[in-house]
A and B are shown apart, each in its own frame.
Chain A
Amino acid sequence: MNEQRGGGPEKPLAVVVGHGEFAGGLVSAVGQICGMADKLVVLSMMGMTPEDIEGTIREQLTRTGARVIFTDLPAGSATLAARRILKDDPGIVLVSGVNLATLLDFVFSTAASPTEAARAAAERGKASLIVVGR
């Protein structure tokens, strides 16, 4: 399991998990832009069985108290693992298809709860996708 944390005192609010180094890269970008990478826990699922992916996400949610899971791809193993976790704990929120705009909105959110922040951030992330050119 590959886990990285930012160095600040903030309690993590979400777990970010994806293919390859996707999650680490995205959270690194959050840190570079606003210095708030410590609000996010990075997980990579490289080389792991589906059971290990699910178990590791569960461990990190329990350890940190985070209630939000961000994943990269709706069809990915991490998303399927997260959906299994949601089945047991409907209070968790899953956001699949995460991008940098989503995470930036999330870490700056002043919403009453991380789950509300996640819903708003997902909308911001969708709106950030633009196409320029003919």
Chain B
Amino acid sequence: MGIHLYRIDDRLIHGQVVVGWGQPLNIRFLVLVDDLVASSDWEKDLYRMAVPPEMEIYFADVVTAIRNHAQYASDPRPGILITGDISSMQRLVREVKAIGSVNLGGIHHRAGRAEKLRYVFLTPEEEHQLRDLEAAGVEVTAQDVPSARARPLSEVLEGESR
């Protein structure tokens, strides 16, 4: 079992994660990797309240997640690891060679970002970071919900107008 999905999603814990992926994959634990959330008891309580009782949630900053990854990966239950941005996932991937694929679940519009998919907007720097991830041997695909087609990074970067 262990981590079934490594997801980048700026909404962190929300309906698509808890219900959309959580139910079909029978997810029993979440690892929320975010330096800001991990440092705030209030933020941790906020996300804890959003998780159904059958799911356990772990909070970690990136450094802690790197240190504890083997423990998450060997958990007998199926889980999802989530970061809120590409940089955090990139830092994780650099140190954890076992991560073979990354899911782009939601990177929404913000100044400087261009639309690639309905739920993926990227700055040039973020595009570069994703290309680096793939160059490091990690499969990067965009897929907001399980019933959608997983789109390879090359297709994502070309955008929907192709």
The interface residues of chain A lying within 8 Å CB-to-CB of B13 are 75, 80
Closest to B10 in A: A49
Interface residue? A52 (CB, 8 A): yes
The reply to whether A80 and B14 contact each other, CB–CB distance below 8 Å, is yes
Q: How far is the CA of A87 from the CA of B41 in the complex (A)?
A: 13
Closest to A72 in B: B15
The interface residues of chain B lying within 8 Å CB-to-CB of A91 are none
User: In whole Å, how far is B146's beta carbon from the nearest beta carbon of chain A?
Assistant: 16
The reply to whether A76 and B14 contact each other, CB–CB distance below 8 Å, is yes
The reply to whether A80 and B50 contact each other, CB–CB distance below 8 Å, is yes
Partner of B18, one of A47, A50, A52, A75: A75
User: In whole Å, how far is B14's beta carbon from the nearest beta carbon of chain A?
Assistant: 4
| Residue of B15, B109, B118 most packed against chain A (CB within 10 A) | B15
A17-59 interface bits toward B, Cβ cutoff 8 Å, 1 = contact, 0 = none: 0010000000000000000000000000001111010000000
The reply to whether B15 and A47 contact each other, CB–CB distance below 8 Å, is no
Total residue contacts A-B, CB cutoff 8 A: 46
Partner of A77, one of B15, B19, B51, B52: B15
The reply to whether B52 and A75 contact each other, CB–CB distance below 8 Å, is yes
Please judge, given known A-B contacts A74-B50, A80-B46, A83-B46, whether A50 and B11 are in contact too, CB under 8 Å.
yes
Closest to A83 in B: B46
Interface residue? A99 (CB, 8 A): no
Interface residue? B110 (CB, 8 A): yes
The reply to whether B42 and A87 contact each other, CB–CB distance below 8 Å, is yes
Q: Contact residue range for chain A?
A: 10 to 19
Tell me the dominant secondary structure on chain B's binding face: loop
A52-90 interface bits toward B, Cβ cutoff 8 Å, 1 = contact, 0 = none: 100000000000000000000111110110011001000
Q: How far is the CA of A55 from the CA of B119 in the complex (A)?
A: 19
The reply to whether A47 and B118 contact each other, CB–CB distance below 8 Å, is yes
User: In whole Å, how far is A79's beta carbon from the nearest beta carbon of chain B?
Assistant: 7
The reply to whether A49 and B108 contact each other, CB–CB distance below 8 Å, is yes
Please judge, given known A-B contacts A83-B46, A84-B46, whether A77 and B14 are in contact too, CB under 8 Å.
yes
Interface residue? B47 (CB, 8 A): yes
The interface residues of chain B lying within 8 Å CB-to-CB of A84 are 46
The interface residues of chain B lying within 8 Å CB-to-CB of A76 are 14-15, 50
The reply to whether A47 and B47 contact each other, CB–CB distance below 8 Å, is no
| Residue of B51, B108, B119 most packed against chain A (CB within 10 A) | B108
Q: How far is the CA of A48 from the CA of B119 in the complex (A)?
A: 9
Q: What would 7 more interface pairs be, CB under 8 Å, given A49-B108, A50-B11?
A: A50-B10, A73-B15, A73-B19, A74-B50, A76-B14, A84-B46, A87-B42
